[in-house]
C-alpha cells in the first residue's frame, strides 16, 4: 500500500502548479480593478457637456463632431485655416499685415463652444485629465513642430495666479505631449515677471500693450536656450499677443527660432468669449 501511495503522490501535479494556474488571469483582473473602481465611483463623463461616455478622458458622440479641427490648407505662419488652397508658401493676410515673430503656429482646432468647454474644464474646473486629450490632439496637429523642437517651453503664469490656481494649464499640456523623451520640457526657463490684467475683451493693440515686457528668461537658466529651437505651448491663441511677447523674450535670450503650438486658435478674436 505504501508503494501505491508513493506512486500516486509521484504522479500528482505539484501544489505550486495547481495554486498558480490562474495567476495570469488574477493579475489581469487586479490590474483593472483600480480603473473599474474609479469608473464606478466617478463614472466617465464628457469633458464638454457632462454626458456619460465609455472611458476617461473623452467626449460624447455629440460634442466630438462639433469640434472644427484645423487641417490643410492653412497659413504656414499663423496656422489660420484657408477657405481654399492658395498654393504652396502663400501666407494669410493677417501674417502679411502683422508678421509674427515666431516661425510657425499650429493649433488642433478652431475656438468654439466645445473647445471652449475643454479649455475651461482644464483651467477652472480642475478637470486635469482634459490635458491628456487636448495634448494628444495638439501633437497630431503639430507633429512637424515637435520633431523640430530642441526644447518645449510652456507659457508661464504669474506667481500669484499660479498659487491661486495651483497649476499652470500650459505646463500640463506641455508635459502631456507625446513626443521624443529627449526633448525636455522647461517650465523654469520663462517667467511672467509682472501681473497682467485679463485679456478678455481687449483688442489686439490693448492685448499687446498689456503683455509688453511681461515675460523674461530666468538669468540662472538662460544659458540652456542658446541656439536652440523652441516650441512654445499654450492652451489657446487669440490675437497672438501673449505668444508674441513670449517669443520676443525667447529670441532676445538666444533662441534660434520659436514655433507655437496651442490647442485652440481663435479666428475672430473680437467675437471670442475666452
Note the pLDDT tens digit of each residue in 138-180: 999 999 999 999 999 999 998 877 888 889 999 999 999 987 6
**What gap in Å lies between CA 194 and CA 224, rounded to an integer?**
23
Give the range of the structural domain holding residue 11, as residue numbers without chain letter: 2-41
Per the CB < 8 A criterion, the answer to whether 243 and 105 are in contact is yes
Q: How many CB atoms lie within 10 A of CB 28?
A: 10
Confirm whether 162 is domain-assigned: yes
Q: Are 71 and 188 within one domain?
A: yes
Q: Are 122 and 254 within one domain?
A: yes
Per the CB < 8 A criterion, the answer to whether 102 and 249 are in contact is no
Q: How many domains does the chain have?
A: 2
Per the CB < 8 A criterion, the answer to whether 247 and 211 are in contact is no
Confirm whether 53 is domain-assigned: no
Confirm whether 171 is domain-assigned: yes
Per the CB < 8 A criterion, the answer to whether 196 and 214 are in contact is yes
- Range 17-34 average pLDDT: 44
- What are the pLDDT digits (tens) for 171-211? 999 999 987 678 999 998 999 876 665 555 555 566 666 66
Q: Are 214 and 82 within one domain?
A: yes
pLDDT for res 130: 95
Confirm whether 83 is domain-assigned: yes
C-alpha cell at 128: 486635469
Confirm whether 191 is domain-assigned: yes
Q: At 15, phi and psi to the nearest 5?
A: -65, -30
Q: Are 126 and 208 within one domain?
A: yes
Q: Are 75 and 203 within one domain?
A: yes
Q: What is the CATH number of the domain that holds 129?
A: 3.40.50
C-alpha cell at 28: 489581469
pLDDT score of 37 more than 60: no
Confirm whether 57 is domain-assigned: no
Chain-wide mean pLDDT for the chain? Answer: 82
- Pick the more confident residue, 179 or 255: 255
- Pick the more confident residue, 10 or 233: 233
Q: Are 88 and 13 within one domain?
A: no
- Least Cα distance to 43 among 25, 60, 29, 30 occurs for 60
Amino acid at each position: 500500500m505504501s508503494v501505491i501511495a508513493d506512486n500516486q503522490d509521484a504522479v500528482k501535479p505539484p501544489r505550486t502548479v495547481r495554486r498558480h494556474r490562474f495567476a495570469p488571469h488574477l493579475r489581469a483582473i487586479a490590474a483593472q480593478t483600480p480603473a473599474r473602481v474609479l469608473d464606478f465611483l466617478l463614472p466617465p463623463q464628457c469633458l464638454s457637456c457632462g454626458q456619460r461616455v465609455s472611458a476617461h478622458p473623452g467626449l460624447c458622440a455629440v460634442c466630438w463632431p462639433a469640434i472644427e479641427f484645423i487641417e490643410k490648407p492653412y497659413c504656414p505662419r499663423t496656422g489660420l485655416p484657408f477657405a481654399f488652397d492658395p498654393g504652396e508658401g502663400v501666407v494669410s493676410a493677417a501674417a502679411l499685415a502683422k508678421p509674427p515673430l515666431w516661425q510657425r503656429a499650429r493649433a488642433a482646432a478652431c475656438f468654439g463652444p466645445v473647445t471652449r468647454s475643454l479649455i475651461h474644464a482644464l483651467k477652472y474646473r480642475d478637470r486635469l485629465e482634459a490635458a491628456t486629450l487636448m495634448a494628444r490632439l495638439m501633437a497630431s496637429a503639430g507633429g512637424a513642430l515637435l520633431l523640430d523642437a530642441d526644447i518645449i517651453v510652456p507659457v508661464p503664469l504669474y506667481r500669484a495666479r499660479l498659487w491661486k490656481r495651483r497649476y499652470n494649464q500650459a505646463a500640463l499640456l506641455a508635459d502631456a505631449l507625446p513626443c521624443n523623451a529627449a526633448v525636455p520640457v522647461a517650465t523654469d526657463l520663462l517667467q511672467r515677471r509682472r501681473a497682467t490684467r485679463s485679456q478678455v475683451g481687449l483688442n489686439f493693440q490693448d492685448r499687446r500693450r498689456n503683455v509688453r515686457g511681461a515675460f523674461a528668461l530666468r538669468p540662472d537658466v538662460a544659458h540652456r536656450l542658446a541656439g536652440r529651437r523652441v516650441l512654445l505651448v499654450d492652451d489657446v491663441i487669440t490675437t497672438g499677443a501673449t505668444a508674441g511677447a513670449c517669443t520676443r523674450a525667447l529670441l532676445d535670450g538666444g533662441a534660434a527660432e520659436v514655433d507655437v503650438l496651442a490647442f485652440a486658435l481663435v479666428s475672430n478674436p473680437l467675437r471670442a468669449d475666452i
